[in-house]
Structure 1
């Protein structure tokens, strides 16, 4: 293999790894308290145009999911989704919203949960998390 081909392959691999690292970057937004008193952020993930927050209330054993836009604006398709990993039944809050979708609540103390959301047309889902 020529040196030029090796350099091009290495450069292409470097770009692919950089793109993967950027897309896996953690969400930087702060949870806004939409789930109510006693809920604390336990996980979050980025979705195009915002952040999906998973919260938990230690006193009642309930999880809550909220999808929040980075910048409020005209109403658009959004949804917040949450379920126990051992269940088929999703709790959701679909609609056209200007700032956030949810909150969506679920009793899941001691269980793994699947959670996620959508802004516009991009879904993000995390499965089998926060199992303790």
Structure 2
């Protein structure tokens, strides 16, 4: 009986922990089918992406109704937490946002007001970094860099 009570208590704590994480909106999830829209919001459409080798992808999304860009780095194979980041920067307004830490599935979201502006964005998974400069604007040619650090 004591073992059953202890197992029930552990189960309750686990449910509360999972529920608490969902309620407070943790930035990383172990869900296997994470999408840019799941991270940024349903109204955000993917406008650009950059592979982080075979480890995952950094996504740039845009919401036409509010003029915001959002960035998320999503792992191809969620698992043990590793160092990850996602960032988006608007040089013209000097506004930036991002997320950085050890995550199991994704880093982000990061939101900036991007309507009518070029943006720079990127992220990393483990030791592989991707950056995209002068993206999504007609005036400048986009420049992509992938490097191991």
Which category describes the TM-score, using the shorter chain as reference length?
Answer: 0.7 to 0.9
Give the TM-score normalised by the residue count of structure 1. Answer: 0.73
Aligned residues: 104
Secondary structure of the 1:94 match is: strand
User: Residues of 2 paired with 1:52 and 1:94: CA distance?
Assistant: 13
What is the match of residue 66 of structure 1? 72
What is the match of residue 108 of structure 1? 114
State how 1:33-44 maps to structure 2 within 5 Å: 33-44=38-49
Asked if structure 2 preserves the Cα contact closer than 8 Å seen for 1:33 and 1:39, the reply is no
What is the match of residue 81 of structure 2? 75
Aligned match of 1:95 in 94, 98, 101? 101
User: Residues of 1 paired with 2:36 and 2:101: CA distance?
Assistant: 21
Give the TM-score normalised by the residue count of structure 2. Answer: 0.65
Runs of 4+ residues over 4 Å off in structure 1: none
Which sections of structure 2, spanning at least 5 residues, go unmatched? 1-34, 139-149
Q: Does 1:53 align with 2:59?
A: yes
Secondary structure of the 1:34 match is: helix
Q: Calculate the aligned-residue CA RMSD, in Å.
A: 1.9
